Amino acid sequence: MMWSPVITFLLLTLSTICYGENPGAKILVKEQGLKKGVEYLVNKLMSNNTEYQLPDVSGSENIASEDMNYEFTQIRLVKFHHGNILSDWVPETGMHVSMENGSATINCNWKIDSWLIRDSGRGILTISGLSISMMMGLRRIDPGVPSISLLDCQSSIHNVDIQMLDGVSYVYESLKQPLQDVVRATVNRQLCSAIRSQSTKWDESVSHLQLNVTLNPFIDLDVSLVGNPEITDSYGCLGLKGLFRTHNESHSEAAFSPAPLNISIQDGAMIYIGVSQSSLASLASAYYSAEFLTFQVSHMEGSKALTTAELATYIPEISQHFPNSLPVKILMYATRTPMVFLHSKNITVQFGGSLQANAYSSEAKHESIFSANIVASFQVNMSMSEAIGARGMNLTASMNLNRLQIEGSQPKENKVAVTEKAVQQLIHGLIIPSINENLSRGIFISSSFLKNATVYPEEGFATLAANIQ
């Protein structure tokens, strides 16, 4: 059915990441975004030049004082022009989508049976002035799945032209107008009936959506709905749980209860995605539980291998213990769940972990240069840009060290006792450039219809704003 991508667009663009009574994140679609998205999806569907099978039409009418039975079967929509597409939000209900002044070309098989005429053949129906108006309702049903329903449907057809091929078609010229009136009335009656039947299939499909999404072999994201959609006359918004967790672990709900999230709507953008601090906190916890937060620094300045001689530029005492230059590997890993704080200008990450540096005289033998437990605060800045050579966007970031503290005593097997100042210089000079090199490559977000995306942090959440192509 040609309207099915409209529902797909609605469910995708209204997806929000929420948890508890307040959403952990939101996607807010303005009325301009809804209109543009519906137009995009209908145009994309029509560009596929796919034939659509339509329901059979049959009945009996009194034509020219004769009772005539008719059948139109194998009805195939081979050409369609949607005319003007209109869509808008319906407050506290859903959305209204209409098509005005559309046209269609339909191939079919026909059969006529009466006392005077009994014949069959192929036919071409040309429909013009086609209008359809649908009111779609959106709500949440247990256990947190979306439900859609057709609340109202109206249709009208201005004109139907029938070309009867095969058979003794010249006989039908006198019957053409009455037949066209019958077909117009019958198709008009069945059109909304077909849409209503299709809407039931849409609802059945979305009710079976997988709401526990596997992001990788270790981490899941719960995206079940937490409430009915918030719909006004200018935007629509849904709420999902949005809790990240590892496969073998369940988080306490109270541990990731978000604060209220109010997206600031700015002029120009059609879609806004707001991600809260609590959702990012559950993501950081899941990554820590999955033991993903380990960083190895083995290079400096591109492909140049890190050595004890280069490390001595930051910690001169190293040259006394390693007069001959040896390869070095620096390992930094988390020993507790990182804490994420979203501010109006940036993102702050508080990291508690261990920093280790080892010198390798061979692949199998190494010595500890130093090891220290640290607590560090990092400032992260994010940006969004159009991807080069692909349809989508590229999310990039960079980070800086705000402050650092060494916790506890350092192990006796260390060759060097490092100071906080030395570790700060090391992180500034080696570790952060290595991490930023990876962050600068960015995360590609595939999208064939979003453009002009920007991302900016706010107090307690971050927002992405974009338009639809």
In this predicted model, what pLDDT tens digit does every residue of 353-376 receive, in sequence order? 999 998 888 777 888 899 999 999
* Alpha carbon separation from 80 to 60, 75, 130 (Å, rounded): 28, 14, 10
Residue 354: per-residue pLDDT? 92
3-state percent helix, strand, coil for the chain, nearest multiple of 5 = 25, 50, 30
For the chain, the domains span: 1-48+83-102+137-289, 293-448
pLDDT at 290 over 50: yes
What confidence score (pLDDT) does residue 395 get? 81
- Average pLDDT rounded to a whole number, residues 98-114: 87
- Computed over every residue of the chain, the mean pLDDT equals 80
Helix (H, G, I), strand (E, B) or coil at 457: strand
Give 174's pLDDT tier (boundaries 50, 70, 90): low
Residue bearing the bigger pLDDT, 47 or 191:
191
**What are the residues whose beta carbons fall under 8 Å from the beta carbon of 89, sequence distance 6 or more?**
31, 34, 95, 96, 231, 232, 233, 234, 235, 236
pLDDT band at 377 (very low <50, low <70, confident <90, very high): very high
Per-residue model confidence as pLDDT tens digits over 159-170: 888 887 776 555
pTM value is 0.74
What band does 378 get if pLDDT is binned at 50, 70 and 90? Answer: very high
Residue 63 has what pLDDT? 67
CATH architecture of the region 293-448: Super Roll (3.15)
Pairing of β 57-63 and β 212-214: unpaired
Q: At 289, is the pLDDT very low, low, confident or very high (cuts 50, 70, 90)?
A: confident
CA distances from 241 to 327, 359, 391, 425 (A): 47, 46, 29, 41
Q: What's the pLDDT score for residue 68?
A: 79
Task: Show the tokens assigned to 323.
Answer: 């007069």
In the numeric block, the tokens 């977000």 are attached to 445
Amino acid at 24: G
Neighbours of 56 (CB within 10 A): 13
- Could you give the maximum distance between any two Cα atoms of the chain, in Å? 114
pLDDT tens column, 296-353: 776 544 445 788 898 898 889 999 998 988 988 888 899 999 999 998 888 999 999 9
